[in-house]
Amino acid sequence: MSDLINTLKAFHMHSPINLKACRVAVEEDLIESNSLELFFGLGTNKYGLIFSYGVLVFYNCGQQEIDALYTKLGLTIAEKDSDLYQDDFGIKQSAGDYQTRFDHIALPEINEAVIRIAMLNLGQSLALKYYDTVSQDLLTSVREFTAQLESNGQLKIGRKSILRFVGKALNTQNRIAENLYIFDAPPATWESEYLEKVNLSLSKHFDLSTRYRSIDSTFKIIKDNLSTYMDLYHHKESSRLEWIIIILILVEVLDTFISKLL
């Protein structure tokens, strides 16, 4: 068997990708597509996979070919290179059983279905890396708000700002739930024991389930804290209304008293 390791390269664009526009650009080379991804060829034994949640994965492609595809898809160089998350992984054909290493997996058979499953797992791994960073940034902000409560006894952030923060947290969590199917095996594995084993090996290697649960746990902490902040604001608003009512009653009483005196 060959010692050649074919490389998978994954890139995260930090924003969702318009699959309809991309589909037009790769229509001639399209192999399979659905509402979340486009799988297409880029030449002999070369493939691309685009995910709607902002990830592109390439198999056995050089940088010039990748740059050419970005141009074809209408993605600018600045957008592509600006603080971009990326990851690499390899696939090697080798006699014997499956062997998973730090930077590649050795398999007895490599075909189009195997390549797509590897691209799927690498793409989801990179997406989890991105969402983990987003969730940690949100958690850092929550810690700052909590520190304000501890030191000042009040929040220095306005109600509109806290509501926007809540919206960002919920929207991010919803995107993760809608786009990442960590616990669902690809349809191709349903009828192939070999593909199922490849998928399980890669999912375990990238630790997808554990990382997903960790992110989900972080968002639960964020939601619990935000719920507390909203309760505090509601209490503050209630207290303000109570004082307004008291003042209005006092004004009415004074007005009545003064009217009787006059």
**Tens digits of residue pLDDT in 107-143:** 888 999 999 999 999 999 999 998 898 889 888 888 8
- Residue 82 pLDDT grade (very low, low, confident, very high; cuts 50, 70, 90): low
**The CATH number of 5-108 is which of 3.30.310.10, 3.50.50.60, 3.40.50.10320, 2.60.40.10?**
3.30.310.10
Higher local confidence (pLDDT), 47 or 162: 47
Segment among 11-20, 43-52, 72-81, 180-189 with least mean pLDDT? 72-81
Most confident of the ranges 35-49, 91-105, 150-164: 35-49
Q: What is the pLDDT of residues 90-107, one digit of tens each?
A: 998 887 767 888 888 888
- Is residue 107 within 8 Å of 1, Cβ to Cβ? no
Tell whether pTM > 0.85: no
pLDDT at 226: 78
Query: Residue 33 and residue 38: Cα distance in Å, rounded?
Result: 5
pLDDT given at position 243? 67
Highest mean pLDDT among 166-170, 183-187, 255-259: 166-170
Residues 138 and 169 sit within 8 Å (Cβ to Cβ):
yes
On average, the pLDDT of the chain sits at: 82
Per-residue pLDDT at 234? 59
Task: Answer yes or no: is pLDDT of 259 > 60.
Answer: yes
Cα 126–chain centre separation: 9
More confident residue, 82 or 53: 53
Residue with tokens 């554990």: 210
Dihedral sign of CA atoms 127, 192, 96, 41 in order: negative
Which range in 160-169, 184-193, 203-212 is most confidently predicted, on average pLDDT?
A: 203-212
Convert the chain into a string of H (helix), E (strand) and C (coil).
CCCCEEEEEEEECCCCCCHHHHHHHCHHHEEEECCCEEEEECCCCCEEEEECCCEEEEECCCHHHHHHHHHHHCCCHHHHHCCCEEEEEEEEECCCCCEECCCEEEECCCCHHHHHHHHHHHHHHHHHHHHHHHHHHHHHHHHHHHHHHHHHCCCCCCHHHHHHHHHHHHHHHHHHHHHCCCCCCCHHHHHCHHHHHHHHHHHHHCCHHHHHHHHHHHHHHHHHHHHHHHHHHHHHHHHHHHHHHHHHHHHHHHHHHHHHHC
pLDDT at 191: 85
Domain boundaries in the chain?
5-108, 124-237
Q: Which residue has the higher pLDDT, 76 or 116?
A: 116
For the cut 70, the answer to whether the pLDDT of residue 76 exceeds it is no
Mean pLDDT is lowest, of 51-65, 212-226, 245-259, for: 245-259
Q: Who wins on pLDDT, 114 or 84? A: 114
